[in-house]
């Protein structure tokens, strides 16, 4: 069964390859999300805390997230800026 309506929105998942239950949950989310615009990036050798504490892992995750946000939130940023004016 797919997740609720929000799962049709663009989705970027970043998980460590050895993140245990977190990796399993990310796998499940990716399979069940109804979004046509979804991407799953695995940081090899990283566990959950590596994505916070190890600069190389953090950099890899942030790089993926930054490009995702740039591609998918650019219109939202413009709209938010216009509303504040």
Q: Is residue 40 part of a domain?
A: yes
At residue 82, the pLDDT reads: 46
CA distance 53 to 58: 7
CA distance 81 to 34: 30
What total of structural domains would you count in the chain?
Answer: 1
Summarize pLDDT for 48-58 with one digit per residue, the tens: 999 999 999 99
Summarize pLDDT for 17-49 with one digit per residue, the tens: 999 888 999 999 999 888 999 999 999 999 999
Mean predicted lDDT score pLDDT of the chain? 85
* pTM, two decimal places: 0.77
Q: What is the largest CA-CA distance in the chain?
A: 46
Q: What residue has token string 């566990």?
A: 47
pLDDT band at 7; cut points 50, 70, 90: confident
Q: Is residue 84 part of a domain?
A: no
CA distance 26 to 74: 25
**39 closest CA partner among 68, 60, 62:** 68
Q: Domain containing 35: what range?
A: 9-76
């Amino acid at each position: 069964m797919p997740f609720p309506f929000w799962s049709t929105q663009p989705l970027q998942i970043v998980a460590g390859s050895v993140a245990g239950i977190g990796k399993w949950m990310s796998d499940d989310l990716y399979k069940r999300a109804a979004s046509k615009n979804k991407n799953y990036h695995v940081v090899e050798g990283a566990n959950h805390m590596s994505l916070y504490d190890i600069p190389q892992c953090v950099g890899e995750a942030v790089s993926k997230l930054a490009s995702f946000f740039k591609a998918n939130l650019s219109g939202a940023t413009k709209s938010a800026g216009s509303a504040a004016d």
